[in-house]
Structure 1
Amino acid sequence: MQGIESIIPLILVFGIMYFLLIRPQQKKLKDHQQMVAALRRGDQIVTQGGVIGKVTKVKDGENEVEVEIAQGVSVRVVRGTIAQVLNKTEPAKG
Structure 2
Amino acid sequence: MSFFISQAHATEAPPEGSPYQFIFMMVIFAGIFYFMIYRPQARRTKEHKNLMNSMGKGDEVLTSGGLIGRIVKISDENDYVQIELNENNVISLKKDFISAILPKGTMKSI
* Common fold: TM-score over 0.5: yes
Alignment match, 1:54? 70
Structure 1 position 31 matched with structure 2 position 29 = no
Aligned to 2:90: 74
Q: TM-score, normalised by structure 2?
A: 0.74
Instruction: Please report how far the alpha carbon of residue 21 of structure 1 lies from its aligned counterpart in structure 2 after TM superposition.
Output: 1.4
Q: How many aligned residue pairs are there? A: 88
CA distance in 2, matches of 1:46, 1:58: 15
Q: Which amino acid aligns with 2:99?
A: A
Identity %: 27
What is the root-mean-square deviation in Å for CA atoms of aligned residues? 1.5
Alpha-carbon distance in 2 for matches of 1:36, 1:23: 20
- Structure 1: 5+ residue stretches without partners: 89-94
After TM superposition, the score normalised by the length of structure 1 is 0.86
User: For the pair shown, which has the larger CA radius of gyration, 1 or 2?
Assistant: 2
The structure with the largest strand share of the pair is 1
Partners of 1:4 and 1:60 lie apart in 2 by 53
Return the alpha-carbon distance in structure 1 between the equivalents of residues 63 and 42 of structure 2. Answer: 21
Distance 2:22 2:50 in 1: 42
User: After the TM superposition, which residues 16-27 of structure 1 pair with which residues of structure 2 at under 5 Å, given as runs?
Assistant: 16-27=32-43
> 2: CA distance between counterparts of 1:3 and 1:37?
50
Q: 2: distance between equivalents of 1:58 and 1:87?
A: 19
- Residue in 2 aligned with 1:10? 26
Higher relative contact order (CA 8 A, sep 6+): 1
Which of 51-60 and 13-22 deviates more? 13-22
